[in-house]
Each structure stands twice: as structure tokens, then as C-alpha cells.
Structure 1
Amino acid sequence: MTTTVSRTPSAPRVLAVLVAVITAFGALLADFVIPAGAAQHLRNDAWPPHAKFHDAQYIAMSMLLGVLALTVLLRRGGATRSRVWTACAILATPWLGLLAALVFPGTAIHDPEFAGTTIVGLHPQVLLAVILLALLTVAVALTARRRD
């Protein structure tokens, strides 16, 4: 039996690739490269070295998970549905972790001196996590409706 592989990427795969690129580079840019974000994170003189260590750990983890998901998504052959679902599960990990960190005692989404920045009532990181998790949910739902 011969199967034809479409050269046009599917909508679920495009959504997942978009989230993978944002996941791979977003934390690095926001917490280390872009001056406004870096001043609140790795370049924040008020942060102790151990806090900076954990932010660097999050940046490295996000980059690794993003690249891993891209590898899964861009690989040829095999079942598209399982690849998209696997990549979406990988990509959801840092964003669900960000949201879950909010329920731990003594944590905050921002330091007091940086309070006040919200978009539609949410801290920008929380809003980004919600948007990206919604895109991953759409990708999984669309993939579930497709035939492999």
C-alpha cells in the first residue's frame, strides 16, 4: 500500500511549531536579552545567585523542550497524530509548570518593585502561558479530528 505525504504542513503542526519556537527562545529573550525583562530576572541585582540559577535553569529547560518538540514535529514519516500529541505534551510542560508555580506558598509572578504590568488583568507571563496552552489544545483537537 502506498501513501501520499502532503508537502503542505497541517494546521496543528504549524500551531505546535509556533509554540515550540516561542518556548525555545521566549524565556531566553524575556529573562536575559531584552533589557526590560532582563532587569527583572537574570540582570536583577536584587536577586540572589540561587534565584538567578533557577531562572537560568528554566531558560535552559525551555530551550531544550522547544528544540525537542521541534525535532519531533519536523521528523519525516510515522504517525502525524502521535508526533503532534507528543510535541504538544512536551511543549505544555514549561507553561503548565509556570502556572503551577503560582500555587506554591511564598511565590509571586513578579517582584514587588515590578508590580502593576498587566494585560487584560493578567501578568504578561500568565497571559502568554494561557494563550500558548490554548494553541496547543487547538492543535491536539484538530489532530484528533484528522485521519493519520
Structure 2
Amino acid sequence: MLGKLLFTIDAVGLLLGAPLADYNHTHIFNPRWPPHAKFHCAQTINLSVTLGLATLYYTWRSSFLPKSVPPPIAREREQDSLRTALFTGTIYWIAGLASILYPGTAWVDPEFDPSGLPPQVPIFVGFGSAALLGWMLDRQG
């Protein structure tokens, strides 16, 4: 159950993280951003929310299996669901961390540049790790 709770925390991060971080003056309402950059910002918000919903679905869907499903089949379905939740719960965070590898990218725009560790790094690593740890715990049964 702790594993599913960690998956749920990850899903909440996906559902709320991008909308809270990007639907503001630093991103979607930034007058310096051209319309196409705002399009990709909106795309990222939508992707994060969609992956959050998918992570919740795959985390909890085995809880709604009929009691008539034999235990070995139920366990295999649950494991398959959790593997899928691991993918949907981590791919956004991995993509975010890898985005800095593209030419001309920066963690934040210069006018908002904080000193020290980029704010995305602990968030992306933290939520991605929650999903990974959740999978590891529930995989052990």
C-alpha cells in the first residue's frame, strides 16, 4: 500500500506541478515569449496532467478487479499495471531532466534566474524517485 501511496504522490506532482509552475508570468503569460513557445508550454502542461491521470489510473486499477479473478492472474495484472504506472509516472520527469541537453536551453529565463541548484532538479528527481520507490515496494509484494 505504501508503494501505491508513493505513486499517488507522484501523480499529484504531475497533475499540479506544470500547471502551477508554468501557468503564470514566468511562462504562459510572459510577454517576451513568442506564441509558438507558449504553444509548447501549453503542450507541456497538458502532457503532465495527462500522464498524472494515467499514473493514477494504472496505480489503482487493480484495486477494482472483481473478487472472482484468481489470485495469480490478479497479481500479474497488478504488476503489469504498476510497470505501466512506473512509465507514465517517470517519463515526464526524465524528459524534463534531459531537456537541458538541447542547444540553447536553460533551466530558467535570465530575468528569473535563481542562484544555486535549478528549481526543477529536486522536483523532477523527487517525484520521479517517488514513482520508482513505489514500484520497488509494490513489486516486492
Structure-2-length-normalised TM-score: 0.85
Instruction: In structure 2, list runs of 5 or more residues that go unmatched.
Output: 66-73
2:129 counterpart of 1:134: yes
Is residue 143 of structure 1 aligned with residue 138 of structure 2? yes
What is the alpha-carbon root mean square deviation over aligned residues? 1.3
Check whether the contact 1:92–1:133 (CA below 8 A) recurs between aligned residues.
Answer: yes
Match of residue 57 from structure 2: 71
Q: Is 1:112 matched up with 2:119?
A: no
- The equivalent of 1:42 in structure 2 is 28
Structure 2 contact 59–82 (Cα < 8 Å) conserved: yes
Aligned equivalent of 1:83:
81
Q: CA deviation at 1:95?
A: 0.6
One-letter code of the match for 1:124? P
1:135 shift after superposition: 1.1
2:26 equivalent to 1:31: no
Higher relative contact order (CA 8 A, sep 6+): 2
The number of residue pairs the alignment matches comes to 129
Determine if contact 1:12/1:84 at 8 Å carries over to the other structure.
no
Shift of 1:23: 0.2
Matches of residues 86-97 of structure 1 in structure 2 within 5 Å? 86-97=84-95
Q: Which runs of 5+ in 1 are unaligned?
A: 1-9, 33-37
**1:103 maps to which residue?**
101
Distance 2:139 2:55 in 1: 18
1:27-83 Cα deviation digits (max 9, x unpaired): 112211xxxxx1110011111111111010000011111111111122222432222
1:7 paired residue number: none
Distance in 2 of aligned mates of 1:104 and 1:52: 18
Give the structure-1-normalised TM-score.
0.81
* Contact 2:3-2:137 within 8 A present in 1 as well: yes
Amino acid at match of 1:12: G
For the residues of structure 1 that align with 2:55 and 2:103, how far apart are their CA atoms? 31
